Structure 1
Amino acid sequence: MGTLPMWHPAAGNVTFGSPSTGNGPLSGPWYRAVKTQLLGVLLAAAGNFLISVSLNIQKCAHLQLACQTDPKPYYTSKLWWCGIILLGLGEVGNFTAYGFAPAALVAPLGCVSVIGSAFISVLFLKETMKAAVILGGTLAVAGTYLLVTFTPNVPQELTAKKVQNYLVSWPFVIYVILEIIIFCILLYFYKRKAVKHIVVLLMMVALLASLTVIAVKAVAGMITHSMKGKMQLTYPVFYIMCVLMAATCAFQVKFLKQAMELYEATAVVPVNFVFSTTSAIISGVIFYQEFQSAALLSVFMFLFGCLLSFLGVFLITRNRKKEHLQIPYIDCGHIPGKNVTGKIQPDSHHLCYGTLNNKDDLGKLQS
């Protein structure tokens, strides 16, 4: 047998667990390559979790106010304002994440908010834990792991000149033209034909969301680059992106609010998540070219992770019944001129309050 060579400290670096040297999974080159992206993932996950906490805190505040004998406006509740502050912090975390991680990765991490909201409702609001919620949470977590693992690592330093070049690139110009045509067709059916189907409303939200993601990532990237000492806020494209971000967000809220008024949240939440996430991924691929050099296996596993996340969100939300506050009965027994023997309860599905015992009135309603 040959003799083993003598080891000298200066001959090589074989330290384990150090993020600065070596060739292992936590070695210097690997860590330097992905640390920015990992920071974006952590910011997005933390931001979405704070959003789920804030929504449940606001829900708890509304329930407490509804149970009071003399209900006060919700904006007088300290608990409600605490939820609003957490919501703001969560949105700031999401916004900052776009400056460090690809848009195709940050957008699907919105499933963290759905997972967190479901389990917080079980733990603190005493909702029933169902098998579908557990299975959905498991699928969503597995999908999130695949997304984080197989998202290609691309440089996230965005300058104003890069954004300008992306804006005039042929793939993006064609994409915007197609998106405008589709949006105008949907808007025509929405305005002229009064078509307010959930798919029409949420498709418009998704088309606007794709532009929002492009603008948010551009603004966050230029701010991040400016904080490193290379000022980017003096370029006109920065303010153009700010205006685009604000305008598309405002119209998204309008259409999403109408969808929530017309349909149950159990239908709106999963459909909106699938549509908006898909449009955000497409916009990131086309505008920022995030999958340009990705291997075919990585693309397949990333799409599989998206599918698992979509299924998880669907399973979590489909069994979440809409909470109805208890509506008191209206006692009409003392109204003069009315032959009423019982109490009438408001019916949320019709324009009238219950039924009338007067046969004449019934005949008029039937005619």
Structure 2
Amino acid sequence: MSETRDFYIGLGLATSSSVLIGSSFIVKKKALQALSVRAGQGGYGYLRDPLWWLGMTMMASGECINFAAYAFAPATMVTPLGALSVLVSAVLASRMLGEKLNILGKIGCLVCLLGSTVVVLHAPKEQNLNTLAELSEKLHDPGFVIYAFVVVVTVVVLIFYLEPRYGQKNPLVYVTVTGAIGSLTVMACKGLGVVIKQTLQGDNQLTNWLSWMLLVSVAFCISVQMIYLNKALDVFNTSVVTPILYVVFTSCVILASAILFKEWGGLPPDDIAGVLCGFFTVVSGIFLLQAFKDMSISMNNLARVKKDAPALPQCNGNYVSVPTAAYEERVELVDVKHNSFSSAPDSTMYKNGHRS
């Protein structure tokens, strides 16, 4: 009975977290739209806007509630429910911000969410971490050091080289910075959780230098995340930013956790196949979302395009009759044999430039 109760408590917390986080994107976007100097151009006026701080508070509350959900329910249930924030933000963006998402974008969002869910469900679970000493030992592991180095180098390249050139054109620049740094934020937050847990149990860790290093890391990483998330929301549609951020962030967190906690060693073949399939599904979803985002495509105009498609050229002997858009009542006639052509009313036929 207790396990069932905890499961539903975790389910409620995870769902509430997703609603808060998804709604926070819309609230912050509304605040960013009112700026005179946009965040995408380096402005920080949103820091003086109460509406932006409301959105920030909603996001922080959602993250705290999501963290609490892991104490009651399995991670394989809580983490995929984070995808609900994508659906919430997409629905609210269409209602409150007037943003449009064509049918291929909607399919891309769905594919991204399905692929991410498959990855999360088949990914290895985190190893239990009980003491700060264990975390300190793991942080010195060469694999995690290399991962952290790659993340830092990637972020530096994105910020100083790619952002000035492509930041206003491609959302992946801002979102990759946010997601990659976010993976380090999660690792540091888990470390702080261990610090708090040990301290509450009577083993004071507040005098440990690593505790304060983790706190500084969390503050710095969250600051970078917020700056580039605001830029992404200011420049691009929420319905585009949210699913891509979900995919990038979730993938980076899974990879960082696997490296730091050494979880992949005992992964069975079916889970390995599931992770790979999920990854390529996510790639397909991102392609659908990005490649056709500027096209006006819906079920209605797809049916109309099929209905209004021009007829194929009609060939009659030496002549090809080709309807043209410029002359609704005229037909262009081409002499196939002699490569000569002229224009005439439908009732008139020409051959070699002479009326037949």
- What TM-score do the two structures reach when normalised by structure 1? 0.56
Separation in structure 1 between the aligned mates of residue 196 and residue 244 of structure 2, nearest angstrom: 32
- What amino acid is aligned across from residue 211 of structure 2 in structure 1? F
Separation in structure 2 between the aligned mates of residue 190 and residue 137 of structure 1, nearest angstrom: 25
In structure 1, what is the equivalent of residue 259 of structure 2?
286
- Is residue 270 of structure 2 the alignment partner of residue 300 of structure 1? no
Cα distance change, pair 53–119 in 1 and its aligned pair in 2 (3 A): same
Separation in structure 1 between the aligned mates of residue 241 and residue 196 of structure 2, nearest angstrom: 33
Residue range with higher mean Cα deviation, 279-288 or 82-91: 82-91
Separation in structure 2 between the aligned mates of residue 240 and residue 200 of structure 1, nearest angstrom: 28
Give yes or no for contact 2:113–2:282 (8 Å, CA) kept in 1: yes
- What amino acid is aligned across from residue 208 of structure 2 in structure 1? Y
Cα distance change, pair 236–126 in 1 and its aligned pair in 2 (3 A): same
Give yes or no for contact 2:112–2:282 (8 Å, CA) kept in 1: yes
In structure 1, what is the equivalent of residue 19 of structure 2?
49
- Is residue 83 of structure 2 the alignment partner of residue 114 of structure 1? no
Higher strand proportion, which one?
A: 2
Structure 2 unaligned regions, length at least 5: 34-45, 296-356
In structure 1, what is the equivalent of residue 65 of structure 2?
93
CA deviation digits over 1:290-334, x for unaligned, max 9? 33322121233244345556766887897699xxxxxxxxxxxxx
Separation in structure 2 between the aligned mates of residue 138 and residue 120 of structure 1, nearest angstrom: 16
Give yes or no for contact 1:209–1:280 (8 Å, CA) kept in 2: yes
Separation in structure 2 between the aligned mates of residue 277 and residue 264 of structure 1, nearest angstrom: 20
Superposed CA RMSD in Å reads 4.8
1:19 to partner: Cα distance: 6.8
Q: Secondary structure at the match of 1:195?
A: helix
Separation in structure 2 between the aligned mates of residue 109 and residue 178 of structure 1, nearest angstrom: 29
Separation in structure 2 between the aligned mates of residue 185 and residue 139 of structure 1, nearest angstrom: 29
CA deviation digits over 1:32-53, x for unaligned, max 9? xxx79x9777644431222223
Cα distance change, pair 285–263 in 1 and its aligned pair in 2 (3 A): same
Equivalent of 2:196 in 194, 199, 223: 223
1:240 to partner: Cα distance: 1.0
CA deviation digits over 1:181-239, x for unaligned, max 9? 33444444258xx4344344443333322211211222234334555665544432222
Give yes or no for contact 1:201–1:256 (8 Å, CA) kept in 2: yes
Structure 1 unaligned regions, length at least 5: 1-17, 21-25, 64-73, 322-367
Cα distance change, pair 49–82 in 1 and its aligned pair in 2 (3 A): same
In structure 2, what is the equivalent of residue 211 of structure 1?
184
Cα distance change, pair 268–146 in 1 and its aligned pair in 2 (3 A): closer
Pairwise mapping of residues 1-367 of structure 1 onto structure 2 (< 5 A)?
Answer: 43-56=13-26, 85-97=57-69, 109-120=81-92, 135=107, 139=111, 142-143=114-115, 146=118, 149-190=121-162, 194-197=164-167, 198=170, 199-224=172-197, 226-227=199-200, 231-305=204-278, 308=281
CA deviation digits over 1:111-169, x for unaligned, max 9? 22111223456688898897557756755665566456434344444421111111111
- What amino acid is aligned across from residue 19 of structure 2 in structure 1? F
Residue range with higher mean Cα deviation, 182-191 or 287-296: 182-191
Higher relative contact order (CA 8 A, sep 6+): 2
- What amino acid is aligned across from residue 230 of structure 2 in structure 1? K
Separation in structure 1 between the aligned mates of residue 131 and residue 26 of structure 2, nearest angstrom: 38
Identity %: 26
